[in-house]
Structure 1
C-alpha cells in the first residue's frame, strides 16, 4: 500500500471547464521526485460490475480505487470514510479489471452492492508480465499470476460470474486463468505474430476476440474449447496497418475493431459469426490525418460507440442511425489512452497520458422496442440461426445489423427502426 500523500487526492467538485460534457476530473498530486518522469500514464480504467467503485492506474505502479459517485459526500469535508483505497503494484500497470462480472440472470435477480459483500476482486496487469489480484474491500493481495513474458496489456473477466480471467500480452499470447484453482490451471492461446493490443469477450462467453498491434490479425477464439476459430481480414485495406483496440457489442452480435493505415484511422464493424464486414467508420477520421485511436467501447445499451483519439479526449458515435453524436474539444496536451462506460450508462471515464482521469456526460439515448427485442434475441442466437428463420428480408437484415450503412459518414439520415416498424404493421 502507498501512503495518501504519494497516491494524491482527487477533488470531488467538478472542474472549471468550458466543455459542458465534462463532469469532473481527477488529478494526481505527485511527489517532486516523480514530476516530469515517464510512467505517469493512465493506461487503464474500470468500473466495478455494480458501478459502486472506480479504479484507475494513476502511473508509477499505483492503482487507486474510489467509491462512486465521487460527489456522494460533497460538503462533508472528509468526515465520512468513503473507503477509497490505493494499491502499490511496484511496476507500471498497463491493464486492470474488476471481477468476476455477474451474469445477466444474476444482475436481474439481485441488486446487492459490492460495498456490502466481503470480496471484490481487482486484477492488475504489470509491465513485467505479472498479474496481481487484489481484494478491494480488504486491501489485501490475493495472488500473483506468473506466465506472461511481456507487458500484460489487457484483462477481461467474462460476464458469467465464474472466477475466470483472460489476459493478453506483448508476448503474443492470451492466457485464460482459473482463479478458483489459484491460477494454476491455465489455457494458453497462441497464434498472433506480434504484440496483442487488446482482447474482449462476447456477452454469451462463447468467443474471445483479440487484435495484434503489428500483425494485422483480428483473431476469434472459442472460450468453450480454447481453440482458434478464424481470423478476420482487413478487407480493402492493402497497405501496412496497425491494430489498436476491439470490443463486442453488448449482445455479442457485432465486433468493432480500430486500425491505422499510416495516413488515417478507421473502425470496422464485423459479424463475428460470418466474418462479414458490416460497416466502416472512416470518413470523419480521414479529415484529421494521423490521429491515433487508443481505445473503443460500446455503451451498455449497444447504441453508441465511444472512441478515444490523440487529438480529442472522446468521440461518441451512434452507428445504427446518426453517425457521430458527440465530440469533446481538441486537447493534444492531455490526450486520451483508454475509456470505460459506467455499467448503467450516462458516464464515460477516460484516462490520459498525464495520469489524470476525466468523466464525461454521455448522450442519453432511449432504446426503441425494436432495438431491445433485437438485443435480447441476439444475445442467445447466432447469425446463422437468424438467417434460417422464415422472416421477411428487412426484419432479417435488421436482426443481423445489415441495415447499418456500409460507409458511415458524420451524419446518416436513415432510420432502421422506422423501416422495420412500418414493415411489420
Structure 2
C-alpha cells in the first residue's frame, strides 16, 4: 500500500500535558492507584480518567480549565487556546465520581433513547439534559458491578449486577442503541440493554480464563473478546453466537480493536506481537513485532517480559495503531510499515486511546497518571477514503464477489500492505 497523504514523522511525540491526582489519597491501598482505563467521549467534549482509589474524574476537553494539569500544553498546540476553551462552553465543569470500588473499565455512549423519567428521578432536576441526547459513562468495578452515570449531572442511572468477579472492560455499541457489553474475570461476557432499564439480555460463555478486553465493531455486527489464552473469540452481535476462534498468538492476548471501517481487527499479546486479522475470513494479514527501538535497548531472552503488550488502539482515520508495552514505550505504527513511525517513553503504561479527531493519544499508568502525546496527523488519500466508505457496508466476501480487477479487490481487503 502506498504511503497515504503526507509523509509521517519519525520522531518522539511531544508530551502535551500530564494529569496527576491533585492531592494525596486518604487510602493506603498501594495496589489500587492504577489508571486501568481512560476514554474520550465520542464528540471529544469530555475525558474520563480512572485515577485509582475508586475515583473517576470527568474532565471537560480541552484541558484548559482543569486544575489537575501538572505540565501545561505546549504553546504550539491548537488544542489549548483559551478562547477555544471558552467557546466550547464554560458551563462544563469537572466532576468526580466516587464509584466505591476499584474502577477497571470505562465506556461512553450517547443515550437518545433512555427513559427520561429515570433521568428526572435520579438527577432530581426538572430537565436532566439540554436536549434528548444525553451523554452517559459506564464504569466496570472490582466487585462485579457496573455503574452507569449521566455525565452532565454526575448522577447514577444504573447499578447493574450479574458478574461474579471484576468487570475488566466495557464496550457500548457505536450506533447509539445503548447495548452494552461487559467482560469479566468470571470468564463471561454479558450483554445489557439500557433501553430496557439495564436488562441483561445474554451471557456469552466460551473463554476458559479471565477476560481482559472486549470490542464491538463500528458497524455493530461483531464482538471481539480476549482472555488469558492464546486465542481470540469473535461473536455475532446479531445472534450473540460464536463466529470463530482466531489462533496465532503464542501467549495471553490482552487487547483488541477494530478499524474504523470494521474491515480489520488488531490484537495484542504478552508475546510482544500485534496481529492484524481480517475478521470476516479469519485470515492473518500481517504482524507487528516489538523489537529494540534504540541501541541502548538490548532485549535478551531473560527480558522478554519487558516487551509484553498492554493495550492497543486504532487511529480515527484507520491508518495508524498505537501500542503500550511493559518496556516503557508508546509506539505508533503505520499499517504498511514494519517498524514504528514514532515512539515515546511511557513509564508503567497500562492503557491508551486516541482523541476522536486524531492528533492526540492519552496513556494511563500504574501510578494513576495520564499523559497526552502528539500523534502523527496525515491527510488520507482519496483511495483510502473510498475504501473505507465501501468497507463500512461490504464484507470481505462481498468485495471478493464484485466483478472488479484482482488488484482492486486486494486493495479493498487490505491485502496490499
TM-score under structure 1 normalisation?
A: 0.81
SS in 1 for 2:409: helix
Structure 2 gaps of 5+ residues are 1-10, 67-80, 113-127
User: Which residue, out of 357, 375, 380, partners 2:370?
Assistant: 357
1:56 aligned to 2:69?
no
Instruction: State which drifts further: 249-258 or 319-328.
Output: 319-328
* 1:269 partnered with 2:276: yes
Shift in CA distance, 160/97, structure 1 to aligned 2, threshold 3 Å: same
Report the CA distance between 1:21 and its aligned residue.
1.2
Distance 1:296 1:32 in 2: 29
State which of 228, 231, 234 in structure 1 corresponds to 2:245.
231
Mark the CA change 1:308 to 1:379 in structure 2 (over 3 Å): closer, same or farther.
same
Q: Residue 64 of structure 2 aligns with which residue? A: 71
Verify the 8 A CA contact 1:313 1:350 in the aligned structure 2. no
Can you list the C-alpha shifts for 1:9-60, whole angstroms capped at 9, x where unaligned? Answer: xxxxxxxxx9651110011133363367220000001111100000010000
Q: Tell me the distance in 1 between the aligned counterparts of 2:180 and 2:25.
A: 37
Q: Is the 8 A contact 2:288 2:338 kept in 1?
A: no
User: Partners in 2 of 1:20 and 1:170 — Cα distance?
Assistant: 34
Gap change, CA 1:192 and 1:309, over 3 Å in 2: same
TM norm structure 2: 0.82
The DSSP-based 3-state class of the residue aligned with 2:31 is coil
Contact in 2 for aligned 1:219/1:231 (Cα 8 Å): yes
Question: Are the aligned partners of 2:29 and 2:53 in contact in 1 as well (CA < 8 Å)?
Answer: no
Given candidates 192, 211, 214, the residue that maps to 1:177 is 192
Provide, for residues 374-424 of structure 1, a one-character-per-residue CA deviation record: whole Å limited to 9, x for no partner.
0110110011111111221211111111112xxxxxxxxxxxxxxxxxxxx
What is the CA-CA distance between 1:320 and the residue it aligns to? 2.2
Per-residue deviation, 1:285 = 6.2
Shift of 1:75: 7.3
Residue 206 (structure 1) shift: 0.5
Comparing 291-300 and 182-191, the one that deviates more? 182-191
Describe how 1:3-152 pairs up with structure 2 within 5 A. 21-31=14-24, 33-34=26-27, 37-71=30-64, 82-100=92-110, 116-117=130-131, 119-152=134-167
Tell me which moved more, 345-354 or 184-193: 184-193
Aligned to 1:259: 269
Give 1:82 deviation, angstroms. Answer: 4.0
1:72-105 deviation line (CA, Å, top 9, x unaligned): 68779x9x66411010000100001111389xxx
Contact 1:246 1:258 in 2 (8 A): yes
Q: Residue 203 of structure 1 corresponds to which residue in structure 2?
A: 218
Matches within 5 A, 1:326-365: 326-329=342-345, 331=346, 334-365=347-378
* 1:180–1:393 distance in 2 versus 1, CA, 3 Å: same
What is the CA–CA distance in structure 2 between the aligned matches of 1:325 and 1:32, rounded to whole Å?
38
Q: Offset at 1:260?
A: 2.4
What residue in structure 1 maps to residue 336 of structure 2?
320
Residues 357 and 283 (structure 1), Cα distance of their counterparts in 2 relative to 1, 3 Å cut: closer
Residues 334-365 of structure 1 show CA distances to partners (whole Å, capped at 9, x for unaligned) of: 32111111111111111111001111111111
Could you tell me whether the CA contact under 8 Å between 2:13 and 2:343 is conserved in 1?
Answer: no
Q: Kindly indicate whether the alpha-carbon contact (under 8 Å) linking 2:109 and 2:136 is maintained by their aligned counterparts in 1.
A: yes
RMSD: 2.4
- Structure 1 residues 23 and 101: CA distance shift in structure 2, 3 A: farther
2:207–2:227 contact (8 Å) kept in structure 1: yes
> Helix, strand or coil: the match of 2:30?
coil
The counterpart of 1:374, out of the listed 387, 390, 393, is 387
Deviations 1:248-278 (A, max 9, x none): 11110110011124xxx10100001111000
Indicate how the Cα distance of structure 1 residues 359 and 35 shifts in structure 2: closer, same or farther if over 3 A, else same.
farther
Q: Deviations over 1:175-206 (max 9, x none)?
A: 11000111124211111111111111111100
Q: Secondary structure at the match of 2:239?
A: coil
- Tell whether the 8 Å contact from 1:135 to 1:142 is kept in structure 2 after alignment: yes
**8 A Cα contact 2:192 2:200, kept in partner:** yes
Q: Select between 64-73 and 296-305 the one with higher mean Cα deviation.
A: 64-73
Q: Output the CA distance in 1 between the equivalents of 2:359 and 2:410.
A: 29
Verify: 1:304 aligned to 2:317, yes or no: no
Mapped partners of 1:399, 1:382: distance in 2? 10
User: How far has the Cα of 1:292 moved from its partner?
Assistant: 1.6
